[in-house]
Structure 1
């Protein structure tokens, strides 16, 4: 009787494995894996590769925001990340059609202690310099900074006073902004 039970258990196991619903394929195919939000720290079960830290920069392609991930040996501070954003895409990113709407912008970021809201001071542009005045440019800054685990929102200042800036829906506000305010301008990952 036990031999019949063992045989029945083996047959049941084989049927379950064979009928898992995944068809056999002769060639590999691309799989899009789900990813966690970029402003949430990775859990212990999904560590970053040793010696590499992911830095997100929101660049542009055809007036759309595109997240680009660069890797470095150490975490960058918010100011360094904005400096790289203003400097624009690397040659490899340019080959992918990426650019920046922030060329020649002069930005200074501070994140006060015990706060998760970054304050970005935008200096008045010099004659003939690039201007930061459209939603894509502000979206680049907000999406880049809020991709950091230590920044939840961004406000913009000029001479220490809050600026009213456009969101992705073209509405103007001086409220703290998040990546969700520019979601309509973002290309899917």
Structure 2
């Protein structure tokens, strides 16, 4: 008869296996009980309905273009309803919010006294300007026109923007510094877009 030699750790191993089989010490319960989830982020993810975003957090995306370090930066704000072109330009002329300013955004637009109004016709916006915005072609003027053109053409159905003063066409500075009375598109300012 052959005898099997028993390891000195066999007893310890059997005790550990028995402990593993019996679990972590939680006792089985006869009746189910309610378990309350912890507070905090995990609890928020487990809720069936998302929390109310509060006032000012709309469901329509409004895209505006501002300036950071000499480049155009697209900003998306959530508004309650699709803005008209006049409302869109008013929001652009109002400049970056406090939060956007803390993120380094500025505006090359001089204020809300430079645009008289905006008209839409056949996918083109015509922006009537006051005398406050000149046609010098300076970098800040190029960025100012770029902000208006890129903001308006980001809206569905608007493909180009024409500028007038007193009903007469105005030469618009493009990114390369050239002036043109032709309707401007976002492509005319593509080199100014932040990457």
Counterpart in the other structure of 1:110: 119
- Of the two, which has the highest radius of gyration? 2
Which structure 2 residues correspond to residues 30-179 of structure 1 after superposition, within 5 A? 52-104=59-111, 105-107=113-115, 108-112=117-121, 115-125=122-132, 133=136, 134-179=141-186
Q: CA deviation at 1:132?
A: 7.1
Runs of 4+ deviating beyond 6 Å = none
Q: CA deviation at 1:103?
A: 2.6
8 Å Cα contact 1:102/1:132 also seen in 2: no
Structure 2 spans left out of the alignment, 5+ residues: 1-57
Q: Deviations over 1:106-126 (max 9, x none)?
A: 2111102xx10100011012x
8 Å Cα contact 2:127/2:161 also seen in 1: yes
| Distance change (3 Å), C-alpha of 1:165 and 1:153 | same
Q: CA deviation at 1:165?
A: 1.2
TM-score by length of 2: 0.64
Determine the C-alpha separation between the residues in 2 that align with 1:89 and 1:180: 23
Larger RCO: Structure 1 or Structure 2 (Cα < 8 Å, ≥ 6 residues apart)?
A: 1
